[in-house]
Structure 1
Amino acid sequence: MSASLEIGPLALPYTLLLVMVAVALGSVVAQRIGRRAGVDVEPHAFRVLLVAVVVARFAFVWQYRAAYLDAPLGMLDIRDGGWNAPAGLLAAWVAGLLWVWRRRALRAPLLAALASASAVFVLGTIALALLPQNEAPLPGITLARLEGGTTSLQSFEGKPTVVNLWATWCPPCQREMPVLQRAQAEHPDVHFVFLNQGESAEVIQRFLVGHRFDLRNVLLDARGQAGAHFGQRALPTTLFFDATGRLVDQRIGELSQATLAQRLDALRPSPTTPP
């Protein structure tokens, strides 16, 4: 199963859609019950949602705070998708309970909204985890290397492998490239593969030289074979494979140093895991 719903060039991760559905349902429930009780609950529901979002982001930032030391303003850039959902859900309940304790008229609509949204989110998360996942292995696709010659993607098996689908014209691809370059230098135990989609060697070389990027494993996917194989057309998309070449995670959209660190932590076996 793909990790996103693709509508033309737009790719919406299912996790984001799940949050949107949960929030929408909670809002509808709050309005209907509040209307019957003669209470305007919408401002309070919005404040609860705001608390949940802020805490979910703060909890993630705190967990990976070392990754934000070089660029602290990156903490505010939510485009990287860094959230701690359990912390946000807990914060929503704490805030909601505090509000209904102070204003008992809010009890029925606000708690009903929280309960319905939480149920959708929890059950949806469980359903997504139980659905068959796309654990496709590294494909036997042979592609041209930027410096000449060819390489099969399967040749990267044996180490955890990060495959980044990108293009020079893609602004989020450009923004995340320094993060990936730094990770490539800091993690020699991980293969980083930069799979350009549909551009010529001259265009790619000019881009890398112009931005002073020093990357290994830059491959040319002129016909978009890898994107078609994994069912991904959105750029950037980053695929994470374990040492056996099995796809274990993917990120659609821009990576920050923190969200990349989160996935690299999950990619490596724990010290107690037998080889």
Structure 2
Amino acid sequence: MISVGPFSIQTVIVILAVAVAWIVARLLARRLADTSHKTAGGVVIDSVFWGLLAARLAYIIQWWDEYRVKPASMIAIGDGGFSWWVGVLVAIGFVWWRTRSIPALHRSVQGGVLAGVVAWIVAGSVVALMNRSAPPIPDLQLATLDGQAVSLSAYAGQPVVLNLWASWCPPCRREMPVFEQAQTEFSDIAFVMINQGESAQQAQRFLDSEQLSLTDVLLDHASQAMQSMNSRGLPTTLFFDAQGRLVDSHMGEITMPSLKDKISRHFN
């Protein structure tokens, strides 16, 4: 699973692109006598703010049916819910509007934004190439709640969503109803809930207390899944296609809009 510390690779790419845009805009402004490099950097930061806001609002509109069921999830930006191309277009439009009457500032900031967009596209392409060699779904030997041995290879041949969780983990507990609903709506996808490091009694007690009807709940007493997939925390959700290739991942609590978005992009 590609990430940098607690941040997903998508977040890191956006931060990199913003940094490139800010640096290039300031460098170009330094070479122009009619503008300030601080002003140029400030315009870039302002454009990023409005771009992010637009990207989030566009994403909420796209998945409105899911967000209106749970309005509080609209502010859960940790789910990665952004329509990035909308954000880029709004940021470019803001830069044009803010610098339209100052040619020198316009050239420096537009040059910075262009450099940031190029950095974003290149970094995204590199990550896409890296994902092609991502590790396959691990062939782990796990157990069901009633003690029956089961291998993850038994789920081969269909899209698989692995969720690594534990009952002591608050965000894991909050997202469980999302997977309960998903198991009902997407019967052609295997949602495999792999408990990390707990006993069958602990896992079953939690499911009963929350009145959750989840299938494919497996026990991973030694937390092998976290080790084999380089997971840095719980909850972690991993998306594998029908060929067993890792196509996406999400660390932290996932919302229904974000889950459906990833499913629609990777599993049609």
- Both structures adopt the same fold (TM-score exceeding 0.5): yes
Please name the residue that 2:265 is paired with: 266
SS of the residue 1:159 aligns to: coil
Contact 2:14 2:120 in 1 (8 A): yes
| 1:206–1:252 Cα change, 3 Å | same
Contact 2:178 2:256 in 1 (8 A): yes
Question: How far did 1:58 drift?
Answer: 1.8
Normalization by structure 1: what TM-score? 0.87
Question: How far did 1:117 drift?
Answer: 1.4
Alignment of 1:163-202 (within 5 A): 163-202=162-201
Please name the residue that 1:49 is paired with: 48
2:20 aligned to 5, 11, 25, which one?
A: 25
How far apart, CA to CA, are the structure 1 residues paired with 2:194 and 2:133? 19
2:16 maps to amino acid? V
Please name the residue that 1:76 is paired with: 75
Question: How far did 1:132 drift?
Answer: 5.1
How far apart, CA to CA, are the structure 2 residues paired with 1:160 and 1:71? 27
Question: How far did 1:172 drift?
Answer: 2.0
Contact 1:161 1:241 in 2 (8 A): yes
Contact 1:167 1:197 in 2 (8 A): yes
Please name the residue that 1:12 is paired with: 7
How far apart, CA to CA, are the structure 2 residues paired with 1:224 and 1:77? 28
Percentage of identical aligned residues: 36
Contact 2:157 2:244 in 1 (8 A): yes
2:18 maps to amino acid? V
Please name the residue that 1:118 is paired with: 117
Question: How far did 1:34 drift?
Answer: 4.0
Which piece of structure 1 moves more, 37-46 or 225-234?
Answer: 37-46
Q: Which runs of 5+ in 1 are unaligned?
A: 270-275
2:156 maps to amino acid? E
2:14 maps to amino acid? V
| 2:247 is aligned with 1:252 | no
Which piece of structure 1 moves more, 189-198 or 200-209?
Answer: 200-209
Please name the residue that 2:226 is paired with: 227
Question: How far did 1:184 drift?
Answer: 1.1
How far apart, CA to CA, are the structure 2 residues paired with 1:102 and 1:170? 53
Question: How far did 1:134 drift?
Answer: 4.3
Please name the residue that 1:127 is paired with: 126
Question: How far did 1:163 drift?
Answer: 0.8
SS of the residue 1:212 aligns to: coil
Contact 1:238 1:251 in 2 (8 A): yes
Please name the residue that 1:239 is paired with: 238
Alignment of 1:31-110 (within 5 A): 31-34=26-29, 37=33, 38-39=35-36, 40-110=39-109
How far apart, CA to CA, are the structure 2 residues paired with 1:111 and 1:91? 13
Runs of 4+ that moved beyond 6 A: none
Contact 1:160 1:267 in 2 (8 A): no
Which piece of structure 1 moves more, 21-30 or 164-173?
Answer: 21-30
2:15 maps to amino acid? M
SS of the residue 1:266 aligns to: helix
Please name the residue that 1:140 is paired with: 139
SS of the residue 1:249 aligns to: strand
Normalization by structure 2: what TM-score? 0.89
Please name the residue that 1:273 is paired with: none
| 1:44–1:173 Cα change, 3 Å | same
Contact 1:160 1:243 in 2 (8 A): yes
Q: Which runs of 5+ in 2 are unaligned?
A: none
How far apart, CA to CA, are the structure 1 residues paired with 2:21 and 2:198? 45
Contact 1:198 1:222 in 2 (8 A): yes
Between the two proteins, the alignment pairs up a number of residues equal to: 264
